[in-house]
């Protein structure tokens, strides 16, 4: 699996980055490739490239707030969860999504 995603939380200083780390670690453990962009209070970091997006199997949004740039994902399978879910159970979320995609 090849995924891209965005993480964004309310205060934009903690959850956002924890969620990114958790998803990246979980994806790595599953042997997937993952690129996660953060939209924190400081602004966008690790911005996704058009190539990363076009090569991805699905888009994982771990967001509590409205984010920018969602038009980049048109035509993609987009899954939205909150940052808490991404932090608590990253692997289960990824596995659940993969199972759903394979149906």
Partner 1 sequence: MSSHRPNLQLKKHALTAISYMLPLVVAAGLLIAIGNLSGGSVITDYSASYNWADAMVSLGVLGMGLLPPVISAGIAFSIADRPGIAPGLMMGLIAHSIGAGFLGGMLGGYLVGYLVLWMKNNVKVPRWAEGLMPMMIIPLVSTLIVGTLMYFVVGIPIVWATNALTDFLTGLQGAGSFLFGMIMGGMAAFDFGGPVNKVASLFADGMLLEGVKEPEAVKILASMVPPFGVGISWALSHWFRKPIYSFQERDNIKIALPMGVCMITEGVIPIAAVDIVRVVFACTTGAAIGGGFSMLWGIGSPVPSGGLFIVPTMTNPLMFMSALAIGSVITGILLFLTKKRLSPEDLQNQASINAEDEAEVDVSSIKFS
What one-character DSSP code corresponds to residue 13?
Answer: S
Are the beta carbons of 87 and 63 closer than 8 angstroms? no
Angle, helices 15-29/90-102, rounded to nearest 10 degrees: 60
The least CB distance from residue 12 to partner 1, in Å, is 6
Rounded Cα–Cα distance for residues 59 and 73 (Å): 7
Rounded Cα–Cα distance for residues 16 and 37 (Å): 9
Q: Which residues are catalytic?
A: 9
Give 2 or 85: the residue with its C-beta nearer to partner 1: 85
List residues binding partner 1 (CB under 8 A).
8-15, 18, 41, 64-66, 70, 77-81, 84-85, 87-93, 95-97, 100
The least CB distance from residue 52 to partner 1, in Å, is 20
Give 51 or 74: the residue with its C-beta nearer to partner 1: 74
| β-strand pairing of 33-40 with 2-8 | parallel
The least CB distance from residue 93 to partner 1, in Å, is 6
């Amino acid at each position: 699996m090849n995924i891209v995603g965005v993480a964004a939380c309310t205060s934009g200083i903690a959850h956002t980055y924890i969620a990114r780390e958790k998803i990246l670690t979980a994806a790595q453990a599953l042997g997937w490739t993952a690129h996660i962009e953060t939209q924190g209070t400081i602004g966008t970091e690790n911005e996704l490239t058009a190539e990363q997006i076009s090569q991805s199997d699905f888009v994982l949004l771990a967001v509590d707030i409205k984010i920018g740039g969602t038009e980049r994902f048109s035509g993609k399978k987009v899954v939205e969860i909150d940052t808490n879910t991404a932090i608590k159970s990253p692997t289960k979320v990824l596995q659940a999504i993969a199972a759903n995609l394979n149906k």
